[in-house]
Structure formats: C-alpha cells, structure tokens
Amino acid sequence: MKAFLECVPCVLNQIIKILRKKVKNQKKREKILLDVLRCFSTIQLSSVTPPELTHEGHSILRKHLGNKDFYKEEKEESNKEALALVPKLEKTIRQSKNKLHDALLLAIAGNIIDYGPEHKFDINKTLRLVLKKKLSGKQFNLFRKKIKGSKRLLYICDNAGEIVFDRLLIEYLIENYDLEVTVAVKSKPVLNDALIEDARFIKLDKFVGVIESGSVTAGTSLDKVNKEFKDAYDKADIVIAKGQGNFETLPHDKKIFFLLMVKCAHLALATNLKYGEIVLWSKS
C-alpha cells in the first residue's frame, strides 16, 4: 500500500513530538524539521509505503540525534502497564463463552497502545469497549478453520505493551491447537514497536521461539527482512500480523490474518474498513 498525501503531515507531527521531547534547542529543532522537509520533498509518495516514509523521516532524526530509541521509556511503561493487567485479561478469557473470539479481540485491544499516531488511550475503558465488539463472522470462521488445519504459525508483533496481549492469545492458541509458533519482533528501534528486549521483559521467549524480522521500519516489507524471518514466513501455514503498519506493508496473501485497529481515516477510506474499528481481516 502506497503513502497517502496525508501521510506527510501525519509523519511530520510524529517527528515534531519527538523533537519537542528529545531536543531542547529550538533552533536545532527547526533545523532538523527543515532537513526532514527537504528529504520528503524528494520522495515520490506513490513509490513508498507509509512506514517507509516514517523511516525516511526517522533516518534524518538519527543523523542529527544519534542512533537512539526515541520511545524507550514509553515502551517500558506500556509493557509494565499491560503486565499489570494480565490476571484480569486471563480471567476474561477463562470466563468467556467464545474464548478464541475474545482472545483475538483482546489482542486487537492491545493494538490501541500506540504512541505513534495521535491516540491517547485509557486501557481499562478500551477493554470494556472492545469486549462488546464482534469480529466479522465470515472472517472469524475463516480464521478458525485455518488455525485448526495449521501446523506452523508465524506471529508478527507490532507494539511494546501490546505484546503482552499477544502473549495471552499465543498461550491460548498453543494450549488449544497443535501448533509450532514463531514470534517475530523488530530488529531495531522504530516508533514504539516491540524489540527482542520487550519480548524478553514480558517472558514471551520462555515458551515460544522469538526472532527478529530484520525489518527496521514500521510494518514488515518482505524485501527487507532477514533470512530467518523469510524461512519462518515461507514455512508458516498461517501468519498473524498485528497492527496497521503490517497491513500497509505485507502482501494481502490468503494465509495472513491481520489483526488491527484502523487508526487512519485515509486508510479506512481506501480499504473500505471502518475508521476506529477493530478488524480481523484476511483476503478471502
């Protein structure tokens, strides 16, 4: 999926937020912003994905600010916040009448934890709202059928914090299906996306294999991943890909099920998905 015109101001707003937080000198902030504008003015928008545009902007930031993890504190914070919810989340799944459905719902609820786009969130309120939702019956049935017949699952994570919710879904899948699961996280800091250290912090690596995808942009472009990821992707019978970035970059292949909240009105318009809605989607 190619970048919209509106991706430019959206990414700039993200970058300005980082500048306000990480750069004290106003002249320096200005200089970096102008550098980003100069860079963007040379990019053919119809030839990049939204995450690639973000990546170009962040490359300029790194050139000026060094190779920092701009969201380190927020990621640690959201991992901790999400871990504190685990007993509650486990109870919710245990008491659910449709455990698979609700474990999927919760995994998407976790996707609302996102410091990239302009979303403040209240986890508890979000949980209450999300648990009232219903996934598309058609898509859910497709997923249930596919997961039953699969041996190998590749689970592609999105954000820190969110991966705690992913862990619960993965635990549920392992307990109830005969699956070999590989979990993929990013190789380098990009926005608030989960890294191997986040997976370790929430002890995801204790019961499934966790690999780095090689992707250094939001989402996962298959022409930029490492061999280990590519092998896991090729061998997988089913792939679960979290978040809008993956939806924007991965091929819309039948074996991939996307779990996301639609955080962008323009993406919604272009795909017939509903803005603000939680979605389980696979090309059927």
Which chain residues interact with its own copies by CB under 8 A? 5-6, 8-10, 12-13, 16, 19-20, 26-27, 29-30, 33-35, 37-38, 40-46
Q: What's the CA gap between 141 and 115, in Å, rounded? A: 32
Indicate the residue type of 16.
I
CB of 265 to its own copies, least distance (A): 11
Q: What's the CA gap between 186 and 175, in Å, rounded? A: 26
Cβ(119)–Cβ(112) below 8 Å:
yes
48 or 174: CB nearest its own copies = 48
48 or 222: CB nearest its own copies = 48
Element containing residue 191 per DSSP (H, E): none
11 or 179: CB nearest its own copies = 11
Cβ(194)–Cβ(202) below 8 Å:
no
Cβ(11)–Cβ(33) below 8 Å:
no
72 or 266: CB nearest its own copies = 266
Buried b (16+ CB within 10 A) or exposed e, 250-265: beeeeebbbbbbbbbe
15 or 170: CB nearest its own copies = 15
CB of 249 to its own copies, least distance (A): 20
Cβ(258)–Cβ(281) below 8 Å:
yes
Cβ(258)–Cβ(280) below 8 Å:
yes
10 or 85: CB nearest its own copies = 10
User: Within 10 A of 115 (CB to CB), how many other CB atoms are there?
Assistant: 22
CB of 119 to its own copies, least distance (A): 16
57 or 110: CB nearest its own copies = 57
CB of 8 to its own copies, least distance (A): 6
CB of 263 to its own copies, least distance (A): 16
For β-strands 209-212 and 180-185, DSSP reports them as parallel
CB of 39 to its own copies, least distance (A): 8
CB of 138 to its own copies, least distance (A): 32
Strands of the sheet with 278-281, listed across from one edge: 209-212, 180-185, 152-156, 238-242, 256-261, 278-281
Chain-centre distance of CA 212, in angstroms?
A: 14
Cβ(213)–Cβ(220) below 8 Å:
yes
CB of 64 to its own copies, least distance (A): 14
57 or 189: CB nearest its own copies = 57
Cβ(260)–Cβ(266) below 8 Å:
no
